[in-house]
Amino acid sequence: MRRSVSSPIDAALTALVGVVVALVGIPLIRWAFLDAVWTGSAAACRAADGACWAFVRQKLEFILFGLYPPAERWRAALAATLLVALVILTTSPRAWRRWLLAAWGVGLAGALWLMHGGVGLAPVSTRLWGGLPITLMLTAVGLALGFPLAVLLALGRRSTHRVPRVVCTAVVEVVRGVPLIAVLYIAALVVPLTLPPGAEIDKLFLAQGAVVVFAAAYLAEAVRAGLQMIPRGQRDVALALGLRTWQANRLVVLPQALRIVVPSFVSIAVGFFQDTSLVVIIGLFDLLNTARVSAQDPQWLGFHTEAFVFVGLIYFVGSTLMSQYGLWLERHLATSEGVRPH
Amino acid sequence: MRLRSAALQGLGLGLAAAVLWWLARNTAATLEQNGIGLGFAFLRQSAGFDIGETPIAYSPADSFLRAIAVGLVNTLRVSAVGWVLSIALGFVLGILRLADNPAVRGLARGVVELVRNVPLLLLLLFLAATMTALPPAREAFEPIPGVFISNRGLVLPTFGSVPRLEGFNFVGGITLSPELTALVAALTLHHAAHISEVVRGAILGVSPRQRDAAHALGLSRAQTLRFVVVPQALRAMVPLLATNCVSLTKNSSLAVAIGFPDVVSILNTTANQTGHAIETMLIMIAVYLTLSIAVAAGMNAYNQRVLRPGV
């Protein structure tokens, strides 16, 4: 009965969607491909109806690397590759062992050395850093340092002692209660005041600190949710076997709790990858800001859409891959025991 | 054991106090060097800067306090509109994603995935740049009679007042500035995409037998959704909708990136003009914590009502 009634409606709906897709899609394809200008000057672009990819090509190095000295850009590219490689390595549950921590330590130090220079490489001031390496670094370092801090905050929040419980609860709730922009402003405007007079602190370092604290507060709630799912008996048994509280947490409770909440870490990571774009507000040149600034070049005015579409694609591909990985991981952890963490 | 715990906690507190004291001493020295005192008295001074959008009366001669109030009203205005629009659009998208027709389902999914995988700030900057690049008022788009979109912003009709073009500008109706339009549109799209996931999850969470029973009783699909599925799904949804509303209010602070005078933008200007960064940041924290708590309390009250049996 339902099928026979819904059939014509179904057909009409499908046709309607087809019309909508065609109305949006055909002009879009004409703009992006058929009428697009791939090489040439701004004048050639203005004469055409389509997208000005020539502009993105012209600005590609600036969008990806900001003001990083052209002769040294291979270093920024290598650092970005290193960070992506670390993330890819971490996606395999088989890699969740102690050596992964060492790999992150070495990898992050290597990426920082490549970007910053010294010890055999020409030094490059952080004021010149920009583009993709900044976005990747803020995300990767934010999550990598935020994670241990989050575990401490979550354990502290469940502590039987009053002082750590109150302090950890206050930190998590205040940071989660305010926007990331507020945390960035506090880092940029208030933190420098608390240094000894005359001391200076790097703006990128401050922004990174803000992202770490912000990530820690959000991850801490995920960890706490995991801790709550572990039956109390697990801890009691560990204590009865003679383990100290921190041993029981480290060896019995945390390994189980963290496994449960890894998928929610992934969705937090996707959010952070996108949210690092807010450092625009305090004047850092991350991927989104380099795109925005290149569209303000008086020679190339009016091509902001192309710049935003280009970096939008980078964000879209990165976020989609991460989300898909999160879904895969959830199924993987649910169906198999995977590899036991050590 | 008790004694040891107390001693350790005392030691921790002492250490923290020492660090805080050192930071406070540095701060006092820096402030003294810059000739800036600590305290909220500066709020009564004349602000001296202009504000682009003033829903309540304001002039540069007014106090900083008044300027901050203007920003706060702007934040609340954007939030309130954003909540309503994003929940409405989120419901539509969420229900479309569960449609029987695969084409409808696919289209809704495409929109949601596109928005969810792009940073909100990118969406906002793109919409703001697009608004400024629109044709002037004389060549405004009129997608629906009485609604005009131009580089002056969005003009909407109100009850009894339909806008029309007179000379170079519109008279009648209400005009939303390009910044406000871009901000509300970006927040609505971003949060609608997230809310659609909440709605979809909550509807899928309602037992399919409820649906079957409703069909057996002769209810149509629309009636089943309206009277059986959605009321039950609401109970699962409300806490997540509340979280989304709070996060929309926090995200409205992105206004500062496109020059819309929300509370964060004005507090930032105040901090830069007066040097009272600590006080202004404390106000910022207080404002957002109050908003978060107020919204959470409001949603909790609603939640209680929804959970009450028989309603």
Complex confidence, ipTM: 0.91
Q: Two tokens at A288? A: 């989104």
CA–CA separation, A341 and A320 (whole Å) = 27
CA–CA separation, B304 and A136 (whole Å) = 43
Residues 116-135 of B with CB under 8 A from A: 116-122, 125-126, 129-130, 133
The pLDDT of residue A3: 43
**Structural domains in chain A (count):** 2
Q: Which residues contact A231 (CB under 8 A, 6 or more apart)?
A: none
For the cut 70, the answer to whether the pLDDT of residue A5 exceeds it is no
B17-27: average pLDDT: 90
A303 Cα to chain B: minimum distance (Å): 10
Contact A158/A224 with Cβ under 8 angstroms? yes
Q: Classify domain B64-307 at the CATH topology level.
A: MetI-like fold (1.10.3720)
Q: Which residue of B has its CA nearest to A22?
A: B107
- CB-CB: which of B9, B116, B288 is closest to A182? B288
Answer yes or no: is A102 within a domain.
yes
Residues A241 and A273 in one domain: yes
Residues A195 and A221 in one domain: yes
Residues A13, B26: C-beta atoms closer than 8 Å: no
Q: Which residue of B has its CA nearest to A316?
A: B117
Residues B129, A308: C-beta atoms closer than 8 Å: yes
Does A319 lie at the interface with B, CB-CB under 8 angstroms? yes
The pLDDT of residue B86: 97
Disruptive mutation site among B117, B285, B291 for chain A (greatest number of A CBs within 10 Å): B117
The pLDDT of residue B167: 75
- Chain B residues touching A315 at Cβ < 8 A: 117-119, 122
Residues B289, A177: C-beta atoms closer than 8 Å: yes
Residues A14 and A86 in one domain: no
Residues 173-192 of B with CB under 8 A from A: none
| pTM, two decimal places | 0.91
Answer yes or no: is A109 within a domain.
yes
Residues A187 and A163 in one domain: yes
For the cut 80, the answer to whether the pLDDT of residue A112 exceeds it is yes
A20 Cα to chain B: minimum distance (Å): 9
Answer yes or no: is A342 within a domain.
no
Residues A177 and A297 in one domain: yes
Residues A186, B281: C-beta atoms closer than 8 Å: yes
Helix (H, G, I), strand (E, B) or coil at A315: helix
For the cut 80, the answer to whether the pLDDT of residue B68 exceeds it is yes
Q: Which residue of A has its CA nearest to B30?
A: A197
Residues A72 and A20 in one domain: no
Answer yes or no: is A221 within a domain.
yes
- Chain A residues touching B254 at Cβ < 8 A: 181, 278
Residues A190, B130: C-beta atoms closer than 8 Å: no
% pLDDT > 70, chain A: 96
The pLDDT of residue B307: 67
Task: Calculate the CA B274 to chain-centre distance.
Answer: 28
Answer yes or no: is A231 within a domain.
yes
CA–CA separation, A313 and A318 (whole Å) = 8
Task: Write the DSSP symbol of residue A277.
Answer: G
Q: How confident is the model at residue B309 (pLDDT cuts 50, 70, 90)?
A: low
CA–CA separation, B243 and B197 (whole Å) = 13
Q: How confident is the model at residue A272 (pLDDT cuts 50, 70, 90)?
A: very high
Residues A25 and A41 in one domain: no
Disruptive mutation site among B121, B212, B245, B283 for chain A (greatest number of A CBs within 10 Å): B121
Q: Please write the tens of the pLDDT for every residue from A47-65.
A: 888 899 999 999 999 999 9
The pLDDT of residue B160: 77
Q: Which residue of B has its CA nearest to A176?
A: B289
Number of helices and strands in chain B (H, E): 10, 6
For the cut 50, the answer to whether the pLDDT of residue B17 exceeds it is yes
Residues A18 and A40 in one domain: no
Residues A191 and A225 in one domain: yes
User: Around Cβ A156, how many Cβ atoms within 10 Å?
Assistant: 20
**Which CATH number does the domain housing residue A191 bear?**
1.10.3720.10
The pLDDT of residue B137: 83
Domain boundaries, chain B: 64-307
DSSP for A176-207 reads HHS-HHHHHHIIIIIGGGGSPTT----HHHHH
B201-227: average pLDDT: 90
Residues 143-162 of A with CB under 8 A from B: 161-162
The pLDDT of residue A342: 43
Task: Calculate the CA A228 to chain-centre distance.
Answer: 26
Residues A1 and A45 in one domain: no
Does A163 lie at the interface with B, CB-CB under 8 angstroms? yes
Does A186 lie at the interface with B, CB-CB under 8 angstroms? yes
The pLDDT of residue B173: 81
Answer yes or no: is A15 within a domain.
yes
Does B26 lie at the interface with A, CB-CB under 8 angstroms? yes
Residues B23, A277: C-beta atoms closer than 8 Å: no
The pLDDT of residue B284: 94
Chain A / chain B CB contacts < 8 angstroms: 140
For the cut 70, the answer to whether the pLDDT of residue A6 exceeds it is no
* Residue-number span of the structural domain to which A296 is assigned: 35-335
- Chain B residues touching A169 at Cβ < 8 A: none
Answer yes or no: is A340 within a domain.
no
Does B23 lie at the interface with A, CB-CB under 8 angstroms? yes
Disruptive mutation site among B118, B189, B258 for chain A (greatest number of A CBs within 10 Å): B118
% pLDDT > 90, chain B: 50
Rg (CA), chain B: 25
- CB-CB: which of A179, A194, A277 is closest to B26? A194
The pLDDT of residue A4: 41
Q: Two tokens at B197? A: 């996931």
Does A234 lie at the interface with B, CB-CB under 8 angstroms? no
Answer yes or no: is A316 within a domain.
yes
- Chain B residues touching A195 at Cβ < 8 A: 26, 30
Residues A28 and A142 in one domain: no
Q: Two tokens at B49? A: 């800067």
Residues A115 and A203 in one domain: yes
Task: Write the DSSP symbol of residue B226.
Answer: I
Disruptive mutation site among B1, B3, B253, B282 for chain A (greatest number of A CBs within 10 Å): B253
